[in-house]
Amino acid sequence: MSWLRGLRCRECHATYPIDALFVCEECFGPLEAYYDETARNAHVTRENIANGPRTLWRYHDFLPSEYTPRVDLNDGWTPLLRAHNLGRELGLNNLYLKNDTVNPTFSFKDRVVSVAAAKALEFDLPALACASTGNLAGAVAAHAARAGLPSYVFIPADLESAKITSAAIYGATIVAVQGDYDQANRLATEAAETYGWGFVNINLRPYYAEGSKTLAYEVAEQLGWRAPDAVIAPVASGALYTKINRGFEELYEAKLIAGPLPKMLGAQAAGCAPVAHAFGRGTREITPVKARSIAKSLAIGNPADGRYAIDAARKSDGGVFSIPESAVAEGMALLARTEGIFGETAVGVTISVLKKLADARALDPDATIVAYLTGNGLKTSQVIDNVAQKRIDTEPNLEAFQEQFEPKVFAVA
């Protein structure tokens, strides 16, 4: 059974039935899933969870849908890795990496879509759709294929070609919008009102967003049912960041972990940093910007959950910070070089903000810190084309190779 009881407005708390709804008719505020938390918290145990599937559905008691294997691509339950090498470079002795680059479509978006697709089937919707900066498009297209539904993905026309390909291959109809993400999103919002499709991040958004909480649950379980001291995640709409925070709160309320809860650290790139700017100015009101970042998966100029991200940052004694655009690829290279993980631009942003905070001595060196690696670098590889390569061009014989190789080794030494 599901403990979901309905939808509730985040602003005015008006309640609505379980349906494909997303906006409050009274105040236009966003709707959120709410649960019978008292009954659920009396029911859940660490053992029940440990006996569940090795996917995010092991936490189905905290999700707004039953476990529905027919749209399950084994999403979630990704590795949590200790990062000794990167930790040494940054002066952090207990650094961990939550590697969501190894999800079925190579980003954390599989988590949210897994939940949204389950709801779309439950509501008997005829198609899956989304507005996307890229990763979501692939996740929607793959889960729609698995569920036997058509899919429609609305993307900015200038998106990285690998992200377009990785949605198109599953048979999605690509709607390439002449404009930025915010304009693609605007068209998708109008389309959601016109067609009866399940737009995962529009009319299924209250359910979809819940999937991100599993990033908190998994980290706590993988640390032996313990909250880290701090976590760092990228901020685009702010939904991922706020739901990670909510996930830790829920585990605490269910007495599955003890406090204190982690400091929430958020990362943006300078080309699109409206949440970091608002945090720095000491306000929760976001001033929308025209997004101009190479971290396209974070290029949301009008982030709907930005104010809630700032609330979570303040409440947890964390913060949302930005780094220059030039540091995006540097962060990607630093992670890959030290830990063997090729993350996408959003990951580069996350690692560079972590480095910035570590360099500024803003982090306790012995704190347990988890960095969320939200997407795979192969989808955004063009931004690192200029990274220095260790490359030797040689004829196919050993002498020629040594002629090229040994002077270089000597030069390096």
Partner 1 sequence: MSTKIKIPTPLRRHTNGLSTIEISASENVRGTLHTLTAQYPTISERLFDGQGQVKTHINIFLNNEDIRFLNGLETNVKDGDTVVLLPALAGG
In the complex, the residues that contact partner 1 under the rule CB under 8 A are 11, 22-30, 131-136, 179, 181-183, 185-186, 189-190, 193, 201-202, 205, 208-209, 236-237, 239, 285, 288, 290, 297-300, 302-305, 307
User: What is the closest distance, in whole angstroms, from the C-beta atom of residue 18 to partner 1 in the complex?
Assistant: 17
| Closer CB to partner 1, 228 or 301, in the complex | 301
User: What is the closest distance, in whole angstroms, from the C-beta atom of residue 182 to partner 1 in the complex?
Assistant: 7
User: What is the closest distance, in whole angstroms, from the C-beta atom of residue 347 to partner 1 in the complex?
Assistant: 14
Which residues is 174 bridged to in the sheet? 153
In the block, residue with structure tokens 């339950």: 77
- b/e for 100-113, b at 16 or more Cβ within 10 A? bbebbbbbbbbbbb
Q: How many Å apart are CA 133 and CA 322, to the nearest integer?
A: 19
Q: How many Å apart are CA 260 and CA 248, to the nearest integer?
A: 10
Q: How many Å apart are CA 257 and CA 46, to the nearest integer?
A: 10
| Closer CB to partner 1, 22 or 321, in the complex | 22
Q: Rounded to 5 degrees, what angle do the CA atoms 343, 345, 350 make?
A: 80
| Closer CB to partner 1, 47 or 285, in the complex | 285
User: What is the closest distance, in whole angstroms, from the C-beta atom of residue 299 to partner 1 in the complex?
Assistant: 8
In angstroms, the Cα distances linking 11 to 63, 149, 246 are 21, 34, 16
| Closer CB to partner 1, 96 or 241, in the complex | 241
| Closer CB to partner 1, 201 or 368, in the complex | 201
21: which 2 tokens?
């709804």
- Chain mean position to CA 335: 17
| Closer CB to partner 1, 95 or 113, in the complex | 113
Q: How many Å apart are CA 265 and CA 61, to the nearest integer?
A: 27
User: What is the closest distance, in whole angstroms, from the C-beta atom of residue 346 to partner 1 in the complex?
Assistant: 9
User: What is the closest distance, in whole angstroms, from the C-beta atom of residue 188 to partner 1 in the complex?
Assistant: 10
